[in-house]
């Protein structure tokens, strides 16, 4: 299959979940595949880390339901991981309310119907629509509408709309800018498809894909940075590592940040000027300021062991405009992930591990140097009241700024989920997996899959898609 002069059939830049899934399918099909990863472990954002017996992780993996495409991928590749589901999926604390979202659709509908009896019929209609739509039926109708416009079709009650806006806020952009298509996918995968987690945590999850990749004959080079993607006469032919070593391949797949791929890794003479300026105009998703806490107190049971708890003051919170418009950091929603609430092995005995996340624009390092301590203190003050612990219970404390997220994944400005899911950026053609350079593909959360949303499931989906494109192109040749 491989040309005589190429060392590999395929080289994948990056061992994020998109790169790993893609690598598994290609290696399984008998191709000689190399994954090159700059970090010393696989997973990209889909990782965990340990400090003094506490395991910390940032996000979750949603929509692992039977029959979902992500579950299909896990089954097709025979990945050795147990998937568990817990209810409730989410608890949201507002200044005067507590919102509890379970995992069964009837439960969710009943919950909103009891609170908003006048919107009874619309609530049923809205959630059944989210449950049953097919992408083909909503893509053109909603990609150029906002979430606000979608809600106009269903609801009049402002309080109900505020709650739905708040539930949407974890998408990382304010409801008035979010594409309705992105919102629909988010509600399907996160609200109706939430509550799942891979046993052992996110690192174990990514490692399970890497193990399978190696079983299929794939090779992984860790702690190795790719400096350049080599293009000859419009065709990708390999990579250059940061130590100058060149490795050739018939296909190159970038799981790295798309901006890095086109602006830094490829010589600009190989990309059309208009494509490059289009890419440079796209808006990446926001980044995250994270406070990791190891707490010497058991508190999960008080929250029904729900591993996702938000503390919110304002459902109009706009992370793109925060600070720029002078609004206060202390008003920002805190998204708290507590892996030890659901799984005691993620923290020492009688302790909890939690991560507090606030969405933010990236900002320069100097900004964070001056604000890091103040923001950490503000967040702990607020969340300790909500979660009922005191500052003296904290025995491990660490923070991550957008530059930290960038250092570990090279995502531009520490962007947390590819492109921002806002109007004008969700077309399938915004960032397709097949690039204008022959034999160069993208896999991961920067690829616009047509679902409008990004994240772990979509990164995995794009990984599988790219493997299919390559395998099909080989069959044809
Ligand atoms: C705080 C936080 C919370 C989140 N919560 C959720 C959630 O609840 N649900 C959800 O679905 N998603 C969530 N996400 C987003 C999700 O984790 C990502 O969208 C997804 O993991 C991205 O996977 P990926 O394969 O596209 O790439 P990445 O995870 O970005 O991995 C890319 C890999 O490429 C490597 N790389 C880059 N450049 C090079 C180079 N030049 N040479 C070698 N290697 C390179 C990087 O080191 C990295 O390992 C969250 C993200 C964050 C930060």
What is the distance between the alpha carbons of residues 77 and 71, in angstroms, rounded to a whole number?
Answer: 10
Closest residue by CA, ligand 1 atom 34: 14
Mean pLDDT for 359-372 is 94
Does residue 421 sit in helix, strand or coil? coil
pLDDT surpasses 70 at 1: no
pLDDT surpasses 90 at 392: yes
Whether 201 and 54 have beta carbons less than 8 Å apart is answered as no
- Measured in Å, residue 286 CA sits from the centre of ligand 1 at 13
pLDDT surpasses 60 at 4: no
Mean pLDDT for 334-356 is 96
Sorting pLDDT into bands at 50, 70 and 90, what band is 320? confident
Closest residue by CA, ligand 1 atom 46: 409
Per-residue model confidence as pLDDT tens digits over 272-302: 999 999 999 999 999 999 999 999 999 999 9
- Measured in Å, residue 122 CA sits from the centre of ligand 1 at 36
Question: Which atom in ligand 1 lies closest to the alpha carbon of residue 446?
Answer: 26
What is the distance between the alpha carbons of residues 407 and 133, in angstroms, rounded to a whole number?
Answer: 39
Residue 254 CA: distances (Å) to CA of 15, 25, 424:
10, 15, 23
Question: Which atom in ligand 1 lies closest to the alpha carbon of residue 14?
Answer: 34
Give the helix/strand (H/E) hosting 249.
strand 246-254
Mean pLDDT for 317-327 is 78
Q: Is the peptide bond before 121 cis (omega within 30 degrees of 0)?
A: no
Cβ of 455 closer than 6 Å to ligand 1, yes or no, is yes
What is the distance between the alpha carbons of residues 231 and 373, in angstroms, rounded to a whole number?
Answer: 46
Structure tokens at 219: 């090779």
- Measured in Å, residue 308 CA sits from the centre of ligand 1 at 19
Q: Among 59, 185, 441, 461, which is best to mutate for testing ligand 1, by the most ligand atoms less than 8 A from CB?
A: 59
Residue 55 CA: distances (Å) to CA of 264, 272, 293, 346, 348:
34, 45, 10, 5, 9
Q: Which domains does the chain have, with CATH numbers?
A: 8-38+224-282+421-476 (3.50.50.60), 50-103+286-416 (3.30.519.10), 105-192 (1.10.405)
Q: Is 353 left (phi over 0), alpha (psi -120 to 50) or beta?
A: beta
pLDDT surpasses 70 at 372: yes
Per-residue model confidence as pLDDT tens digits over 48-98: 999 999 999 977 777 888 888 999 999 999 999 999 998 999 999 998 899
Q: How far is CA 26 from the centre of its chain?
A: 23
Give the helix/strand (H/E) hosting 358.
strand 352-360
- Measured in Å, residue 106 CA sits from the centre of ligand 1 at 33
Per-residue model confidence as pLDDT tens digits over 163-201: 999 999 999 999 999 999 999 999 999 999 988 999 999
- Measured in Å, residue 220 CA sits from the centre of ligand 1 at 17
What is the distance between the alpha carbons of residues 92 and 369, in angstroms, rounded to a whole number?
Answer: 30
Whether 460 and 209 have beta carbons less than 8 Å apart is answered as no
| Confidence (pTM) | 0.96
Cβ of 15 closer than 6 Å to ligand 1, yes or no, is yes
Burial of residue 119 (number of CB atoms within 10 Å: 0-12, 13-18, 19+): buried
pLDDT surpasses 60 at 2: no
pLDDT computed for residue 58 by the predictor: 72
Q: Among 456, 457, 461, which is best to mutate for testing ligand 1, by the most ligand atoms less than 8 A from CB?
A: 456
Mean pLDDT for 90-109 is 93
Whether 451 and 351 have beta carbons less than 8 Å apart is answered as no
pLDDT computed for residue 245 by the predictor: 97
pLDDT computed for residue 410 by the predictor: 98
- Measured in Å, residue 416 CA sits from the centre of ligand 1 at 7
Q: Among 11, 15, 16, which is best to mutate for testing ligand 1, by the most ligand atoms less than 8 A from CB?
A: 16
What is the distance between the alpha carbons of residues 181 and 321, in angstroms, rounded to a whole number?
Answer: 22
Per-residue model confidence as pLDDT tens digits over 219-248: 999 999 999 999 999 999 999 999 999 999
Mean pLDDT, the chain, whole residue set: 94
pLDDT surpasses 70 at 11: yes
Cβ of 360 closer than 6 Å to ligand 1, yes or no, is no
What is the distance between the alpha carbons of residues 385 and 170, in angstroms, rounded to a whole number?
Answer: 21
- Measured in Å, residue 44 CA sits from the centre of ligand 1 at 4
- Longest Cα separation, the chain: 70
Residue 251 CA: distances (Å) to CA of 103, 215, 246, 343, 469:
42, 21, 14, 41, 11
- Measured in Å, residue 63 CA sits from the centre of ligand 1 at 17
Q: Which residues contact 299 (CB under 8 A, 6 or more apart)?
A: 341, 352, 387, 388, 389
What is the distance between the alpha carbons of residues 261 and 253, in angstroms, rounded to a whole number?
Answer: 10
Q: Where are the alpha helices (DSSP H) in 286-351?
A: 339-342
- Measured in Å, residue 46 CA sits from the centre of ligand 1 at 6
Closest residue by CA, ligand 1 atom 35: 14
Residue 301 CA: distances (Å) to CA of 297, 304, 338, 388, 409:
11, 5, 12, 12, 34
The end-to-end CA distance of the chain, in Å, is 10
What is the distance between the alpha carbons of residues 231 and 100, in angstroms, rounded to a whole number?
Answer: 52
pLDDT surpasses 90 at 314: no
Whether 248 and 242 have beta carbons less than 8 Å apart is answered as no
Closest residue by CA, ligand 1 atom 9: 60
Closest residue by CA, ligand 1 atom 27: 16
Beta strand 97-101 with 90-94 is: antiparallel
Per-residue model confidence as pLDDT tens digits over 413-440: 999 999 999 999 999 999 999 999 999 9
Closest residue by CA, ligand 1 atom 1: 58
- Measured in Å, residue 202 CA sits from the centre of ligand 1 at 12
- Measured in Å, residue 419 CA sits from the centre of ligand 1 at 12
pLDDT computed for residue 326 by the predictor: 65
């Amino acid at each position: 299959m491989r040309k005589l002069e190429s060392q590999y059939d395929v080289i994948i830049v990056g061992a994020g979940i998109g790169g790993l899934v893609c690598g598994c399918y290609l290696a399984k099909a008998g191709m000689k595949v190399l994954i090159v990863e700059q970090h010393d472990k696989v997973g990209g954002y889909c990782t965990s880390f340990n400090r003094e017996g506490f395991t910390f992780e940032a996000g979750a993996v949603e929509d692992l339901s039977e029959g979902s495409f992500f579950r299909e991928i896990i089954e097709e590749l025979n990945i050795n991981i147990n998937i568990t589901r817990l209810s409730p999926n989410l608890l949201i604390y507002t200044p005067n309310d507590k919102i509890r979202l379970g995992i069964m659709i009837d439960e969710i509908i009943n919950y909103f119907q009891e609170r908003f009896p006048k919107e009874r019929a619309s609530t049923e209609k809205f959630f059944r629509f989210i449950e049953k739509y097919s992408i083909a039926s909503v893509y053109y109708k909603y990609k150029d509408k906002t979430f606000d416009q979608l809600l106009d079709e269903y609801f009049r009650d402002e309080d109900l709309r505020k709650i739905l806006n708040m539930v949407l806020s974890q998408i990382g952009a304010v409801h008035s800018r979010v594409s309705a298509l992105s919102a629909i996918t988010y509600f399907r995968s996160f609200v109706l498809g939430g509550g799942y987690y891979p046993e052992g945590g996110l690192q174990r999850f990514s490692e399970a894909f890497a193990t399978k990749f190696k079983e299929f004959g794939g090779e992984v080079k860790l702690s190795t940075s790719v400096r350049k993607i080599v293009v000859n006469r419009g065709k990708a032919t390999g990579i250059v590592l940061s130590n100058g070593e060149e490795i050739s391949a018939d296909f190159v797949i970038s799981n790295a940040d798309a901006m890095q791929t086109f602006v830094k890794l490829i010589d600009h003479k190989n990309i059309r000027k208009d494509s490059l300026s289009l890419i440079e105009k796209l808006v990446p998703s926001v980044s995250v300021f994270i406070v990791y806490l190891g707490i010497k107190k058991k508190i999960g049971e008080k929250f029904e062991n729900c591993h996702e708890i938000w503390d919110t003051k304002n459902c109009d919170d706009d992370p793109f405009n925060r600070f720029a418009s002078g609004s206060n950091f202390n008003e920002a929603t805190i998204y708290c992930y507590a892996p030890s609430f659901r799984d005691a092995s993620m923290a020492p005995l009688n302790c909890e591990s939690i991560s507090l996340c606030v969405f933010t624009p990236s900002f320069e390092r100097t900004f964070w140097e001056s604000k890091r301590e103040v923001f950490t203190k503000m967040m702990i003050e607020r969340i300790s009241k909500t979660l009922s612990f005191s500052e003296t219970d904290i025995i491990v404390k660490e923070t991550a700024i957008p530059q930290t997220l960038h250092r570990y994944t090279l995502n531009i400005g520490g962007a947390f989920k590819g492109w921002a899911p806002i109007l004008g950026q969700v077309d399938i053609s915004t960032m397709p997996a097949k690039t204008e350079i022959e034999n160069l593909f993208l896999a991961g959360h920067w690829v616009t899959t047509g679902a409008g949303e990004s994240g772990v499931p979509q990164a995995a989906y794009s990984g599988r898609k790219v493997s299919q494109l390559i395998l099909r192109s080989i069959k044809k040749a």
